[in-house]
Structure 1
């Protein structure tokens, strides 16, 4: 196998784990990230320290790499399009365009035959009041761009919650109001598509959030085999529609009748797939690097039940305790300072050989 060089835009923990997986496959990595000594650069071969849209830095990355990927969905689309003129970029810039705007994302999912919550585009306070009236005064108001981990949101739980000033409070920027979904649980699926169109999917995980941030992912999810199949089919539709190469994360609301409502997509490796490095032979990170490098996809089968727990902020103080437990994989992200809401690492605790509640 000839040694390829993979460019990774973004130097956070996801880029770090991608670079680690790349090294095992004899792939070199160059990180493009404005923060010096970022988590990814601690394990990658090189770092270009520059802004994500720096033209000279992008030209250097394109010249030195065989292919470029990214670790987060807010990479400027213009940067990806600039790179595409000189080097393959996977996933393609179209995936960024869809994922960066919640309104575009919802409409694209619907065009693929994938159900979502009802929604309204909000471009004024008047739009918000009319949309809330349509939804009986309830809904989740979100910025269309850049919000994550619960940021950039306002929840209206009843008609008595006044919307006064809400549009201005969220920055007077384009927003989306989504209807409430009476779901039983949240699940997600990690899937990958190779250059030749081959698709492999991991088992769906059941997720619990704390303060808007993923807390745990549990395998197996408490869903039927039919629901798991629906999640896989939705991922396959989306990957094909985007002519996608690489790993994608899809989050769903699971309803009482077993149907699924898509919540959002992430055109990258995903926090709810971190368990794969402990409970599968081929992790989501290796799967992504296999896909973008043009290698065959690996087997996504899970050999063990498990629970992945994020270490957020001061949770990092519990690491000595986690290290003392059996059948626990501890993964820390190389961040020097713990702050509230900051992901410092994760642990995955194996719970025995694989079982299934999915049928």
Structure 2
């Protein structure tokens, strides 16, 4: 793995042009770094709006990659679904943080689950399948209910189906035909949590505590910090996050999503090798936010204090609340609250289920922040 002295890092390269890259670029530039983005998105992408330079190209274009690498000292990624050939090419010439191992593992459910199993990290029982016969055998072994998920390119509930007692397996498999898939035991959980934190090049770790997450239609709706869980659950969740970070030799900000059962067991669901939607509250609620931690770790700098300074709730803003493709809702409910803040991602057009922004509300207690956030949310719909 290539290394570079923090003193020599002036320009950070970002693979990807979305909102995570945007928020990271904003924090890095505020701290004096230059940011160059390589993205296959069209001009005007969220990250490009805050970058010093943007290269718009497919990720398999050698000339574009050469231009990108010539301009940067270190590289990071704002999403994990990148071609492995690109990751290998970048890592051969520049420090890639997080490294190929982390990105390659987390971009594919089969590799992710195998990593968790090999590391002895608690996760749901699973089987890897590639045809209907495999699905039938897996369901017979694991039992119903269970979930079948595509091995690659699944997020926000896409590429998965729940199997219950009356589910037809041939009909279910028809949507997965020709793909490798993972069948997971159904976890009966009482809540979903995540831990967002960072690990630096020296192996030091700093986490933002345990975050409670509520989803709507498989998309994150609300994040609550601190999570309303037993302290033992928080401790266990942080232990699991640390085990994942060490196992991946991780550098940068990472999120691990988990289930909590009625018995207090904590089970890893997914790894996100980047800043995460459930960590957006850290911008307004923590001493050092997840994007600041990302550029610090990537640049080889010490991590900041991750502690939460106030109870806070984050609410996602999807395109569903826009009046039309280009007309946002009336933001008065947010502006009228003295401890609410609006964050928009600079996306030109809205559509259903598209993440357009988020807002946060700080309270003296979690209950106060959540009640106020729900009240604002109801007025925007």
TM-score when scaled to structure 2? 0.90
Please name the residue that 1:211 is paired with.
Answer: 217
Unpaired stretches in structure 2, ≥5 consecutive residues: 1-6, 323-328, 368-381
Unpaired stretches in structure 1, ≥5 consecutive residues: none
Please name the residue that 1:31 is paired with.
Answer: 37
TM-score when scaled to structure 1? 0.95
Closer, same or farther: CA 184–353 of 1 in aligned 2, 3 Å = closer
Between 180-189 and 73-82, the greater mean CA deviation after superposition: 73-82
C-alpha displacement at 1:138, in angstroms? Answer: 2.0
1:195 and 1:116 mapped to 2: Cα distance? Answer: 27
1:353 and 1:169 mapped to 2: Cα distance? Answer: 45
Secondary structure class of the residue paired with 1:89 = coil
Comparing both structures, which one devotes a greater share of its residues to helix?
2
CA contact (8 A) 1:68 1:90 kept: yes
Closer, same or farther: CA 137–21 of 1 in aligned 2, 3 Å = same
| Aligned with 1:188 (options 185, 190, 194) | 194
1:109 and 1:24 mapped to 2: Cα distance? Answer: 37
CA contact (8 A) 2:198 2:297 kept: yes
Alignment of 1:47 onto 2:54: yes
| Aligned with 1:97 (options 74, 91, 104) | 104
1:23 and 1:45 mapped to 2: Cα distance? Answer: 9
Secondary structure class of the residue paired with 1:190 = strand
| Aligned with 2:116 (options 109, 113, 123) | 109
CA contact (8 A) 2:313 2:366 kept: no
Closer, same or farther: CA 253–318 of 1 in aligned 2, 3 Å = farther
CA contact (8 A) 1:136 1:159 kept: no
C-alpha displacement at 1:129, in angstroms? Answer: 1.2
2:266 and 2:171 mapped to 1: Cα distance? Answer: 33
CA contact (8 A) 1:235 1:250 kept: yes
2:358 and 2:59 mapped to 1: Cα distance? Answer: 27
1:57 and 1:171 mapped to 2: Cα distance? Answer: 35
1:221 and 1:6 mapped to 2: Cα distance? Answer: 33
CA contact (8 A) 1:125 1:165 kept: no
User: Counterparts in 2 of 1:215-294, with a 5 A limit?
Assistant: 215-294=221-300
C-alpha displacement at 1:353, in angstroms? Answer: 6.4
C-alpha displacement at 1:354, in angstroms? Answer: 8.0
1:315 and 1:265 mapped to 2: Cα distance? Answer: 29
1:310 and 1:348 mapped to 2: Cα distance? Answer: 9
2:278 and 2:99 mapped to 1: Cα distance? Answer: 22
2:27 and 2:261 mapped to 1: Cα distance? Answer: 35
1:229 and 1:54 mapped to 2: Cα distance? Answer: 45
1:309 and 1:214 mapped to 2: Cα distance? Answer: 8
Alignment of 1:332 onto 2:332: no
CA contact (8 A) 1:144 1:175 kept: yes
Please name the residue that 1:72 is paired with.
Answer: 79
Secondary structure class of the residue paired with 1:6 = strand
CA contact (8 A) 2:75 2:97 kept: yes
RMSD of aligned alpha carbons? 1.5
Between 134-143 and 284-293, the greater mean CA deviation after superposition: 134-143
Please name the residue that 1:135 is paired with.
Answer: 142
User: How many residues of Structure 1 are paired with residues of Structure 2 in the alignment?
Assistant: 354
C-alpha displacement at 1:170, in angstroms? Answer: 2.2
